[in-house]
Amino acid sequence: MTRKYFGTDGIRGRANVAPMTADMALRVAMATAHVLINKEEAAGRGHKSRAVIGKDTRLSCYMFEQAMAAGFEAMGMNVMFVGPIPTPAVAMLTRSLRADLGVMISASHNPYQDNGIKLFGADGYKLSDTLELEIEAMIDSADMTLGLAKPDDIGNASRFDDARGRYIEFLKSSLPRRQTLEGLKIVVDCANGAGYKIAPQILWELEARVIPIHNAPNGSNINERCGATNLSSLQKRVVKEKADIGIALDGDADRLIVVDEKGAVIDGDQILALLATTMAQAQTLSKDGVVATVMSNLGLERFLTQNDIQLHRTPVGDRYVVEKMRQLNSNLGGEQSGHVVLSDYGTTGDGLLTALQILSIVKNKKQADGLCASEVLRVFAPLPQILKSVSFTPQTDPLNDRHVKKTIEEAARALDGKGRLLVRASGTEPVIRVMAEGESEQDVQAIVDNVCDVISQSAPDKTNTKKGRA
């Protein structure tokens, strides 16, 4: 299926530049409302539909929030604003408030100049590819006034003031009764994003000693040298404060990266490994195993296999992880980048939900065995893995170049049986991701550098090559 606007995680782009304009936000809202209302009426369930709208802390969120509200109201949908709040909270609130649609205005880990639109259905899951295609077709229809509500049926807007409190109580309910985090000193990097109030508050309520950093958003500092994609300040602060652990969220708080007491990084693969073995010992892990993406380290797969846990791989994107989990009835999945899905509790990646599970394990191990975070969290030895990104001009396709294809084939053969090579276009920005892993870091580095060089030469307009996360 070819999609014009929706990527792997909604619509995303530079704020106030097509496609991320106020006009597009208005049209997305109108088109989505039209599609959903028609389906309800066709099923004989006609009623006053309702949309929940959340956002992160970008300045442009105000513009898009109002544009989308206008679009929904024009089609006869009521709107509930929940303010700056994590993406998983929007998914939870959509279900809790019996809304028909959840909207999160965020560009996740991207810089503040970007923004995006994520859509959730009434069940709290991201909309299917099929539904997104229907919405795209309606966005581009010649007459967007089709289906406008009559004057008496225009929707209204209200603000739900208890959104943060309701989400905090939901998160607490994921822990065993009377479980606290007393005795833990935690540094939390809020990325100046959607979790800037909730993260420190819930950790304090659970009796931890909390040191919040990057928790003063000003509209333009979200993800700026902080958060899950830039850990240097968190690492330094954890060591300086002699903290037990550090946790880092991204801009919309749907992913988590951990730092141990020594400042070493614990990525999503290590988190998955720890949760999988802990849940298996408690007999709460589903028999169908764990779901991860093609980016997850081969060391994770080998570790899980040694523990009689099967790993299923999907394309990159937490939506594909969730789809596979639902197919298999699996209750644990995630990405190396820190999106972790615990389907016993939620429907999408949730940085704070995952953090509470990890912090609970660390607290219990410290209390029972005197272990520190580095001893608890580093579960397996990862294979050397190198990931680099190559920028390219939009509307071009460097991966279709004959020389690029040949180089990739040769590199894959060189790693056959000893590692993996993955080359893919990002679903959220115009870059090609090149990842390789194997027994020798030197060999892997040489392979990645060579592939990136060839791709750069095939895309002369943009040859910016950089290290990065998937």
- The pLDDT profile of the chain, 470 residues, written as one tens digit per residue, is 567 899 888 999 999 999 999 999 999 999 999 999 888 777 666 667 999 999 999 999 999 999 999 999 999 999 999 999 999 999 999 999 999 999 999 999 999 999 999 999 999 999 988 999 999 999 988 677 778 999 999 999 999 999 999 999 999 999 998 999 999 999 999 999 999 999 999 999 999 999 999 999 999 999 999 999 999 999 999 999 999 999 999 999 999 999 999 999 999 999 999 999 999 999 999 998 999 999 999 999 999 999 999 999 999 889 999 999 999 999 999 999 999 999 999 999 999 999 999 999 999 999 999 999 999 999 999 999 999 999 988 778 889 889 999 999 999 999 887 889 999 888 777 899 999 999 889 999 999 999 999 998 886 544 444 544 34
One fold for both 11-162 and 385-467? Answer: no
φ, ψ for residue 358, nearest 5 deg: -65, -45
CATH 3.30.310.50 is the classification of domain 385-467: yes
Verify cis geometry, omega within 30 degrees of 0, for the bond prior to 398: no
Domain spans of the chain?
11-162, 171-377, 385-467
* C-beta separation of 154 from 76 below 8 A: yes
Residue 118 pairs in a beta bridge with 104
Distances (CA, A) of 109 to 32, 228, 372, 377: 25, 8, 29, 24
* Angstrom distance (rounded) from CA 441 to CA 427: 27
* Angstrom distance (rounded) from CA 113 to CA 57: 11
Structurally, at CATH architecture level, domain 171-377 sits in 3-Layer(aba) Sandwich (3.40)
* C-beta separation of 304 from 341 below 8 A: no
Topology (CATH level 3) of domain 11-162: Alpha-D-Glucose-1,6-Bisphosphate; Chain A, domain 3 (3.40.120)
| Burial degree of 122 (CB within 10 A; 0-12, 13-18, 19+) | middle
Is 108 among the catalytic positions? yes
Residue of 49, 60, 108, 174 marked catalytic: 108
- pTM (whole model) above 0.75: yes
